[in-house]
Amino acid sequence: MWGVLRGARRPPPALRRGLAKPAGPRSVRQLREAEEAAPVFQYVGKAAKRKDRVFVWGFSYSGALGVPSFVKPDVGWKKPRRIQPTPYRLETEEKISSAACGYGFTLLSSNTTDITKVWGMGLNKDSQLGFQRSRRDRTKGYEYVLEPSPIPLPLEKPQQTRVLQVSCGRAHSLILTDSEGVFTMGNNSYGQCGRKVVEDETYRVFVGHTKAHHTDLQSSEILCVAFSLLGGCLVVSSESHLIHQLKEFDSRVVQVVCGQDHSLFRTKKGAVYACGWGADGQTGLGHYNITSVPTKLCGDIAGVNIIQVSSYGDCCLAVSDEGDVFGWGNSEYLQLASVTETTQVNVPRHLPFKIGKIKEAACGGTGNIVLTEEGNVFVWGYGILGKGPNLIETAVPEMIPPSLFGRSDFNPDIRVAHVRCGLSQFAALTNRGELFVWGKNIRGCLGTGRMEDQYFPWRVTVPGEVVDVACGVDHMVSMVKSFT
Partner 1 sequence: LNAAPGRAPRQRARFLPAPGGGGGGATGLVAARVPVLADHPLVRGPRFRRLKIGAGHRLDVKASGVFVLGIGHGNALLTDLYNCHLTKVYTVGGLFGKATDDFSDTGKLVEKTTFDHITREKLERILAVIQGTNHRALLMHSNIDMRTQEAYEMAVKGLIRPMGKSPPIITAIRCLQLTLPEFQLEVHCLHETQQYLRKIVHEIGLELKSSAVCTQVRRIRDGVFTLDDALLRTQWNLQSIQNAIWDCQLKVKTELEKTLG
Contacts to partner 1 by CB under 8 A: 34-35, 38-46, 48, 387-390, 401, 403-404, 406, 408, 410-411, 432-434, 452-456, 458-459, 461, 465, 483-484
Contacts of 372 (CB under 8 A, 6+ apart): 323, 355, 356, 357, 358, 359, 378
In angstroms, give the least distance from the CB of 434 to partner 1: 5
CB 88, min distance to partner 1, A: 17
Alpha-carbon distance 369 to 72, whole Å?
37
Measure the CA–CA gap between 412 and 424, rounded to whole angstroms.
30
Residue 70 CB, nearest approach to partner 1 (Å): 25
- Identify the helix (H) or strand (E) that includes residue 30: helix 28-37
Closer residue to partner 1 (CB): 186 or 402 = 402
Chain Cα centroid distance, residue 63: 14
Instruction: Output the smallest distance, CB 461 to partner 1, in A.
Output: 5
Q: What's the min distance (Å) between Cβ of 462 and partner 1?
A: 9
Residue among 434 and 474 whose Cβ is closer to partner 1: 434
**Length of the chain counted residue by residue:** 484
**Which CB atom, from 350 or from 481, has the smaller least distance to partner 1?**
481
Total Cβ atoms within 10 A of residue 395: 15
Given the complex with partner 1, which of 41 and 77 has the nearer CB atom? 41
What residues does 367 pair with on adjacent strands? Answer: 381
HSE-up (13 A, CA, CB side) for residue 128: 34
Query: Min. distance of Cβ 283 from partner 1 in angstroms?
Result: 38
Question: How far is 333 from 421, CA to CA, in rounded Å?
Answer: 16
For the CB of residue 410, give the shortest distance to partner 1 in the complex, in Å: 5
**For partner 1, which is the closer residue by CB, 238 or 403?**
403
Nearer to partner 1, 116 or 394 (CB): 394
Nearer to partner 1, 137 or 452 (CB): 452
- Pairwise CA distance, residues 309 & 280, whole Å: 17
Is the Cβ–Cβ distance between 372 and 386 less than 8 Å? no
**Which residue, 55 or 458, has its beta carbon nearer to partner 1?**
458
Maximal C-alpha separation, the chain: 120
**What is the C-alpha separation between 264 and 243, in angstroms, rounded?**
17
**Closer residue to partner 1 (CB): 248 or 409:** 409
CB atoms within 10 A of CB 352: 9
Tally of CA atoms within 13 A in the half-sphere of 42 that contains its CB: 5
Question: At closest approach, how far in Å is the CB of 100 from partner 1?
Answer: 26
Count of Cβ atoms closer than 10 Å to residue 399 Cβ: 13
Report the nearest approach of partner 1 to the CB of residue 141 (Å): 42
* Between 51 and 211, CB nearer to partner 1: 51
Q: Where are the beta strands (DSSP E) in 118-171?
A: 118-123, 144-150, 163-168
Cα torsion for 42, 46, 47, 51, to the nearest 10°?
Answer: 70
Name the minimum Å distance from CB 273 to partner 1.
41
Nearest to 176 by CA among 123, 117, 132: 117
